[in-house]
Structure 1
Amino acid sequence: MLNDNLKIIEELESSVRSYVRSFPTVFTKAVGHKMWDMDGKEYIDFFAGAGALNYGHNDPKMKKKLVEYIMDDGITHSLDMATKAKTEFLKKFNDVILKPRDMEYKVMFPGPTGTNTVESALKLARKVTGRTDIISFTNGFHGMTIGSLSVTGNSAKRKGAGIPLQNVVTMPFDNFVNEDLDTLEYLERFLEDGGSGVELPAAMILETVQGEGGINAARYEWLKRVEKICNKYGILLIIDDVQAGVGRTGTFFSFEPAGINPDIICLSKSIGGFGSPLALTLCKPELDIWNPGEHNGTFRGNNHAFVTATESLTYWEDKSFENSILKKSEMITQFLEGLVKKYPELEGKVKGRGFMQGIETPVEGLAAKIAAVAFEKGLIMETSGVDDQVFKLFPPLTIDEEGLEKGFNIIEDSIKTIIKKKELVTN
């Protein structure tokens, strides 16, 4: 039966399908940090919907709220009309997330996905400043629609656009070349020199930790200097927190420890709480110069996601949840650092921050082999980086320590299996 269902996928679904190739089974059930397939095999989820399931699968409190809402004939679709579900979310988001952090932002619902919030952020920056160009950074990933692709670094994904991607200048991310090169001195020289060929941009857009680009974490001092440069030249700072936000790096917003104050913030993935599509674009009030309907979309008001998103914010009503993330993040770091020391064959380097960490290895194909063997042993984990050179750990933030340890054991067993089979050829 399992093979029959996979055969249906192969025969009828487009060749653009991706994750089913890495995880070739048919899933039927998911709870917390676990998933099960049609044969009843259990998997530990260190993937979490690429960061869309920070609270795990089928959180019981969110599920209860959503079922009650549906059974009471709550509004499902409403474009951007006012609904009780929307107002309750806006109030709780303001009370639980923005106010305690002394943040004042207008909330825009641009459409249901991450690329929608990035597109709206780019449009708004250009509208506010009257400028055309955007500065993005090497290995950044911001989405798959044309505007978002233009600020994305991956050449394979960019080629999918089929047209030239223009009005963007790419600058080196922190430590892109090496630790000795000051990438921001390089960037600012382009801005201040009239002969550089680089026009003053409308905005800079970046991820504080580059998820798809290889789990590259910018240093806090680097982020502070980016903000300083933006302020100096009147450039808007856009932080793409679609994957790194909502607690993934330890704090609700990934940039909080850096103490910066972005002009525009992009949120999606786990902001809906339950895995339902939802995206927010936060902008400082003075930037909110949209004309009514100037940026819109049929599914920008997902009321089911408002219901679960509102419930998800109860996790953040006190510091206990954030403290638990930080504690378990340290477990992840120690585990990965232990692997690098224990298995020099990896030639590994620990990358990332919080629940967004991994090991980069220059050994060709090794990260993908580790992920593949881990899947056979019952762990779902993906790779990242332009050459898939990083295997990354993205467990739900709600996973318990026992679940983490079981996942760790599978990863280490997978490495041992590959070494034993002598499939590893060092450079």
Structure 2
Amino acid sequence: MTNKKLELIENLESSVRSYVRSFPAVFTKARGYKMWDEDGNEYIDFFSGAGALNYGHNEPSMKQKLVDYILKDGITHSLDMATDAKVDFLHNLNEIILKPRNMDYKIMFPGPTGTNTVESALKIARKMTGRTDVVSFTNGFHGMTVGSLAVTGNSMKRKGAGIPLGHSVTMPYDNFVEDEEDTLHYFERFLEDNGSGVAVPAAVILETVQGEGGINAASMTWLKELEIICKKWEIVMIVDDVQAGVGRTGTFFSFEPAGIEPDVICLSKSIGGYGLPLAITLIKPELDDWIPGEHNGTFRGNNMAFVTAAEALTFWKDAAFEKNIQENAAIVTEFLDDMIKKYPEMKGYRKGRGLMQGIASDIDGFSEKVAEHAFKRFMIMETAGGQDEVFKLFPPINIDKEGLRSGLETIELSIKDALTSMGIDKGAIKS
């Protein structure tokens, strides 16, 4: 780092910082799918705040609603008191999202982060079942607080807790076993056999597409079969839709194509619409038996986020909005498949679905090189997986076709750069 502002960060900020290391620039402005640094360089953003900016940066209608709200001295902080902003959000969520999908849930406001909604989900499952253990899945990621870490697979992040993480059992995710063994049959055998050492859990928690874990997508059949097991054994089914939800996979909720009805749904990141902190936990009414104040949080009443979130939900009134996401997803799928055929030297294969896709490479360090070269070409994208083996595409879900294709062209150039810089045979590369 030679920039003085970056030197200040290096000198003063904790060593735990990460993204500033991957993207060493001082950003000053952002709009839509673009960001600008202090030198005026324009970047294409295929990172979208790790899924917190599904609608892009400074979306105009949300920005105007937020500015108007601030200028009229709207309430900023209110704990869980009643405000117009909160009422508007609840109304829009119920009328635009839940009712049309025949979904009956109580809406809980935990603290405003992903790990907060997960902690509340784990707590209500344990409270309502009287059981302690929770089953999670290999490569899952659910947050950085102790309860969430206990159901997270990444060993580096788990180690950071500094204490033993208990009351959780890890089972293999869909397609985790190379011989394509039915992983849910394996799970149910543990439940059936009194000698397995695994008691019937309070809950299972899963992502339908594992973001940080490597863009692993569960099949719809697997999700449906898991729901059947949960109902049979009276296990609370928790879907963590913090990253995969709010349109990221092509539908508002990532599990919609499977036709399942989770008992608890965790949402954060882009539920706020504008990048402002907000989280909600959707709970089936029969499970919603909290004592008032039993789970609270000082910043669960983030009214500015309510304002932008309520406006963001209006986009979903028009079926064309969701259709456009799916059209863009199809373009991404076609592009990635083409890259795999065009550049076999990278030994890649496509993962994920919707606008949550990427290419995993069997070459150590290759995906990191692609992301590194993308940044040199003024594009922001990141890697995923236990070994950072996947370079992933997270463009805004409302990106226009011109922006999408421009980003894809940059990615192809970055693939070429990575192959060249690593000295990999370039027989398939065309100038």
TM-score (norm 2): 0.98
Which letter does structure 2 place at the counterpart of 1:41? N
| Corresponding residue for residue 30 of structure 1 | 30
- Which residue identity lines up with residue 310 of structure 1 in the other structure? A
Q: Which moved more, 1:47-56 or 1:403-412?
A: 403-412
Shift of 1:77: 0.3
8 A Cα contact 1:363 1:424, kept in partner: no
Query: What amino acid is the match of 1:76?
Result: T
The aligned amino acid for 1:167 is H
Q: Specify the code of the residue in structure 2 equivalent to 1:132.
A: T
Where does residue 88 of structure 2 map in the other structure?
88
- Residue aligning to 1:365: 365
Q: Deviation per CA, 1:214-266, whole angstroms, max 9, x where unpaired?
A: 00000000000000000000001000000000000000000000000000000
Cα contact 1:32–1:55 (8 A) shared by 2: yes
Residue number in structure 2 paired with 1:328: 328
Q: Which residue of 1 aligns with 2:192?
A: 192
Secondary structure of the 1:332 match is helix
How much has 1:180 moved relative to structure 2? Answer: 2.2
1:2–1:39 contact (8 Å) kept in structure 2: no
Q: Answer yes or no: is the 8 Å Cα contact 1:2–1:38 preserved in 2.
A: no
In structure 1, the partner of 2:172 is 172
Deviations 1:189-227 (A, max 9, x none): 000111111011000000000000000000000000000
**Deviation for aligned residue 1:378:** 1.0
1: CA distance, partners of 2:120 / 2:149: 13
What does the per-residue CA deviation read over 1:96-117, in whole Å, with 9 as the maximum and x for residues that have no partner? 0000000000000001100000
Count of residue correspondences: 426
Aligned-CA RMSD value: 1.1
Equivalence map 1:125-140=2 (5 Å): 125-140=125-140
> Aligned partners of 1:366, 1:423: CA distance in 2, in Å?
11
**Aligned to 1:169, what secondary structure does the other structure show?**
strand
Q: 1:284-299 counterparts in 2 under 5 A?
A: 284-299=284-299
Please report how far the alpha carbon of residue 362 of structure 1 lies from its aligned counterpart in structure 2 after TM superposition: 1.2
Q: Using the alignment, how far apart are the partners of 1:298 and 1:349 within structure 2?
A: 44
Q: Secondary structure at the match of 1:403?
A: helix
Conserved in 2, the CA contact under 8 Å of 1:363 and 1:425?
Answer: no
C-alpha separation between the residues in 1 aligned to 2:182 and 2:169? 18
> What is the CA distance between 1:2 and its match in structure 2?
7.3
Distance 2:315 2:231 in 1: 34
Alignment of 1:56-75 (within 5 A): 56-75=56-75
Tell me by how many angstroms 1:416 deviates: 1.3
Higher mean displacement: 385-394 or 312-321: 312-321
The answer to whether residue 12 in structure 2 is matched with residue 12 in structure 1 is yes
Whether 2:333 is the aligned partner of 1:342: answer no
Alignment partners' CA distance in 2, 1:226 and 1:357: 23
Amino acid at match of 2:383: T
Runs of 4 or more off by more than 4 Å in structure 1?
none
| Equivalent residue, structure 2, for 1:216 | 216
Q: Once the 2 structures are TM-superposed, how far is the Cα of residue 425 of structure 1 from its aligned partner?
A: 7.9
Letter in 1 for 2:105: Y
Whichever residue aligns with residue 306 of structure 1, its letter is: F
Output one character per residue of 1:130-170: Cα deviation in whole Å (capped at 9) or x when no partner. 00000000000000000000000000000000000000000
Q: Quick one: which amino acid aligns to residue 282 of structure 1?
A: L
Match of 1:301 in 2: 301
In structure 1, the partner of 2:409 is 409
Letter aligned with residue 77 of structure 1? H
Distance, in Å, in 2 between the alignment partners of 1:424 and 1:19 is 27
The whole-number CA distance in structure 1 between the counterparts of 2:26 and 2:224 is 45
C-alpha separation in 2, matches of 1:130 and 1:384:
36
CA distance in 2, matches of 1:163, 1:117: 22
How far residue 179 of structure 1 moved from its aligned partner, in angstroms, is 5.3
Aligned to 1:281: 281
Instruction: Provide the rounded CA distance (Å) in 2 between the counterparts of 1:256 and 1:165.
Output: 32
In the other structure, the counterpart of 2:376 is 376
In structure 1, distance between residues paired with 2:423 and 2:191: 48
The one-letter code of the counterpart of 1:200 is V
2:264 counterpart of 1:264: yes
In structure 1, list runs of 5 or more residues that go unmatched. none
> Which residue in the other structure is 1:253 paired with?
253
What is the match of residue 102 of structure 1?
102
Corresponding position of 1:400: 400
In the alignment, residue 418 of structure 2 is paired with which amino acid?
I
| TM-superposition CA deviations, 1:244-298 (whole Å, max 9, x none) | 0000000000000000000000000000000000000000011110000000010
The SS at the match of 1:49 is: helix
Cα distance in 1 for residues equivalent to 2:415 and 2:196: 48
Q: Contact 2:419 / 2:425 at 8 angstroms: preserved in 1?
A: no
Q: Secondary structure at the match of 2:175?
A: coil
How far does residue 414 in structure 1 lie from its aligned partner after superposition?
1.1
* 3-state SS of 1:186 partner: helix
Q: Secondary structure at the match of 2:24?
A: coil
Confirm or deny: 8 A CA contact 2:346 2:419 kept in the other structure.
no
| Amino acid paired to 1:394 | F
Shift of 1:177: 1.2
Residues 366 and 424, structure 1, Cα contact 8 Å, conserved in 2: no
1: CA distance between counterparts of 2:201 and 2:417? 50
Q: Tell me how far apart the structure 2 counterparts of residues 320 and 404 of structure 1 sit (CA, whole Å).
A: 18
Alpha-carbon separation, structure 2, partners of 1:357 and 1:403: 17
**Structure 1-normalised TM-score?**
0.99
Q: Deviations over 1:297-351 (max 9, x none)?
A: 1001100000000000111002110000000000000000000000011100000
SS at match of 1:265: strand
Letter of the aligned partner of 2:373 in structure 1? V
